[in-house]
Amino acid sequence: MIAVYPGSFDPITLGHLDIIERGSRLFGRLIVVVMRNPSKTPLFPVDQRVAQIQQATQHLPNVEVDTFDGLTVTYARMQGAKVLLRGLRVLSDFEKELQMAHTNKTLAEDIETFFLATSSEYSFLSSSLVKEIAKFGGPVDHLVPSAVALDICQCYAKTPPTALPQTATEPAPTPASMERRAESVE
């Protein structure tokens, strides 16, 4: 069975990679499709995001990476996919994803949405959070694949991908504090 995992992946995070790896064990062919979102200003161009995902998933023989500009269900039909794979982190994701799944069902009754709960260690993680941390000079190499961390470092020309020591006045971020910050960003 063919599944499509759509997203902007700007950048791909270890949470995305977790969903891809687990999805690749469930489906015979998994296509990660980088979708263009006109309401967002991306950090990386589409072709660079595709290359980043290809590098991060090269160990998964049944995973392909593609790009598309249009409705996800249109792309799924073009590929013969019967499943849209979506990851869920927090309750707010569920509300948005369920609405999207119902909408997609009105457009394509033959395509199902399959939800995977993100592994708990990535439940706080979002691309927006990664970009915010990097923008302010924080390390992101523990949140994204190493090659992506290097790309982010070059974009912001700040912190090289190695964990920075914490100062006495600056406590280490916790997953809960990072999630609160991510919710305020999104």
Q: If the chain, 186 residues long, is cut into consecutive pieces of 10 residues, what is the mean pLDDT of each piece?
A: 96 95 97 87 92 96 96 96 93 85 94 94 89 89 92 74 45 45 44
Which residues, in sequence order, are CB contacts of 73 under 8 Å at separation 6+? 84, 104, 107, 108, 111
**Tokens standing for residue 12:** 């791909």
Tokens 């708990």 sit on residue: 120
Catalytic site residue from 24, 49, 127, 131: 127
Catalytic site residue from 40, 96, 135, 180: 40
The pLDDT, as a whole number, for residue 47 is 94
**Burial, 87: exposed, middle or buried (Cβ in 10 Å; 0-12, 13-18, 19+)?**
buried
Catalytic site residue from 24, 49, 89, 131: 89
The pLDDT, as a whole number, for residue 21 is 97
Domains of the chain: 2-122 (3.40.50.620), 127-185 (no CATH)
Annotated binding residue at 80?
no
Question: Is 16 annotated in the active site?
Answer: yes
Annotated binding residue at 7?
no
Question: Is 127 annotated in the active site?
Answer: yes
Distances (CA, A) of 56 to 35, 59, 148, 149, 184: 18, 8, 9, 12, 29
The pLDDT, as a whole number, for residue 130 is 92
Annotated binding residue at 16?
yes
Annotated binding residue at 88?
yes
Annotated binding residue at 92?
no
Neighbours of 88 (CB within 10 A): 17
Task: Determine how β-strand 29-35 pairs with β-strand 63-68.
Answer: parallel
CA distance 158 to 102: 42
The pLDDT, as a whole number, for residue 156 is 80
